Amino acid sequence: MGEKSSVQLGVIGALFLSVASSVSIVICNKALMSNLGFKFATTLTSWHLMVTYCTLHVALRLNFFENKPIDMKTVMLFGILNGISIGFLNLSLGFNSIGFYQMTKLAIIPFTVLLETIFLKKQFSRNVKLSLLVLLIGVGIASITDLQLNLVGTILSVLAIITTCVGQILTNTIQKRLSISSTQLLYQSAPFQATVLFITGPVVDQYLTKQNVFASTYSPIILAFIVLSCLIAVSVNFSTFLVIGKTSPVTYQVLGHLKTCLVLGFGYTLLHDPFTSRNIIGILVAIIGMGLYSYFCTLEHKMKQAANLLSMSLVNKGKDDKSPLLPGKNTSHQDKDNHEANKKDSLFKV
């Protein structure tokens, strides 16, 4: 019982860390990019991953976790895929309107469900699917304002959806099949993600912003926010792998939409961003969807546990029913035969 409660506390802690760190980095990066004019998102992400790797390397040296060797080809392809997915998401934002970019992020959940159903044979109940639909409708109402389509932007969005879904599914699958922790996987894959983004980031950012990241002005306040963003990113990256490993890619995406609602709320209360009745209705609908998703997932998990316990008890009962009765009968017959034999022996002796 204690082990079960500790696992639940671990999941809750991972979810809380993910929400807190993600909302913090969004606020930090918004100040860095909107107010201070540092708009090089892809290059900044490569720095995030470099700092994450360096932090984990120090933690490894201090024996906070053990390094477990993983097949180099697997971890390299995984790291490159995740780096590419980040690049595609940033390009999708650059080539599309904000509304269409939000649609791209919303499409990740149904596409993840589709991929897991086809390739991993995972079953999603009707109640879970309906709760996800309510969630997506709510987030769509709250965040989507305009939908402007163009061919290049649409292709980039499709590529972003595919690479993001596959990357998150692999994050969960690799941890479970290779019996490694989220920290071990992040430590070994971060250098490859960082390398991909460090090479492509300046090119992508220059194409999107028409500015050179290395020719930009780095004032003390900009440097301070960059350092702060990198430090927060360590928690973001760590909690991302932790949540996906402990729960599922779909649950992580649901959590991501909770962050979207929180960011909208913080933007209104702290930064005085425009907020309409449509935003409020959308957030409320999304929260209802999240609540339903959490309720149905918890209910189905408990039902699955109860079914497993029942099947185990039936198996044990079957073993108990088979073993004690037959030996008892055989023993009584054997005692009777021994008694008759002893009786005959005594007659012959007389």
Q: What is the pLDDT of residues 265-306, one digit of tens each?
A: 877 777 667 778 888 899 999 999 999 999 999 999 889 888
Q: Is 67 helix (H, G, I), strand (E, B) or coil?
A: coil
Mean pLDDT of 79-102: 91
Q: At what angle do helices 220-246 and 249-269 cross, to 10 degrees?
A: 140
The rounded distance, in Å, linking the Cα atoms of 103 and 180 is 33
Planar angle of CA 63, 64, 66, nearest 5 degrees: 65
Other C-beta atoms within 10 Å of 299: how many?
Answer: 13
Q: Examine the pLDDT at 329 and tell me if it is beyond 50.
A: no
Residue 315 located in a structural domain: no
Specify the pLDDT at position 3.
63
Residue 5 located in a structural domain: no
Residues in the chain: 350
% pLDDT > 90, the chain:
68
The rounded distance, in Å, linking the Cα atoms of 309 and 179 is 24
Specify the pLDDT at position 263.
82
pLDDT band for position 310 (50/70/90)? confident
pLDDT one-digit tens code per residue, 159-184: 999 999 999 999 999 999 999 999 99
Residue 322 located in a structural domain: no
Is 1 exposed, middle or buried, given 0-12, 13-18 or 19+ CB atoms closer than 10 A?
exposed
Looking at the structure of the chain, the number of domains it has is 1
Which is more confident, 44 or 307?
Answer: 44
Cα distances (angstroms) measured from residue 220 to each of 193, 209, 224, 281: 28, 22, 6, 41
% pLDDT > 70, the chain:
88
Mean pLDDT of 77-105: 92
198 contact partners, CB below 8 Å, separation of at least 6 = 43, 46, 50
Largest CA distance in the chain: 120
pLDDT one-digit tens code per residue, 130-144: 999 999 999 999 888
Specify the pLDDT at position 322.
57
The single-letter DSSP state of residue 96 is S
The rounded distance, in Å, linking the Cα atoms of 172 and 242 is 9
Specify the pLDDT at position 275.
76
Residue 177 located in a structural domain: yes
Specify the pLDDT at position 307.
85
Q: What is the pTM of this model?
A: 0.84
Specify the pLDDT at position 4.
65
List the alpha helices (DSSP H) in 270-324. Answer: 277-322
Residue 124 located in a structural domain: yes
Q: Examine the pLDDT at 324 and tell me if it is beyond 70.
A: no
Q: Examine the pLDDT at 348 and tell me if it is beyond 50.
A: no
Q: Examine the pLDDT at 236 and tell me if it is beyond 90.
A: yes
Q: Average pLDDT over the chain, rounded to whole?
A: 88
Residue 174 located in a structural domain: yes
- Structural domain for 231, as ranges: 11-307
Residue 30 located in a structural domain: yes
Token couple for 174 = 């690799």
Amino acid at 180: I
pLDDT one-digit tens code per residue, 15-61: 999 999 998 998 899 899 988 999 999 999 999 999 999 999 999 99
Residue 338 located in a structural domain: no
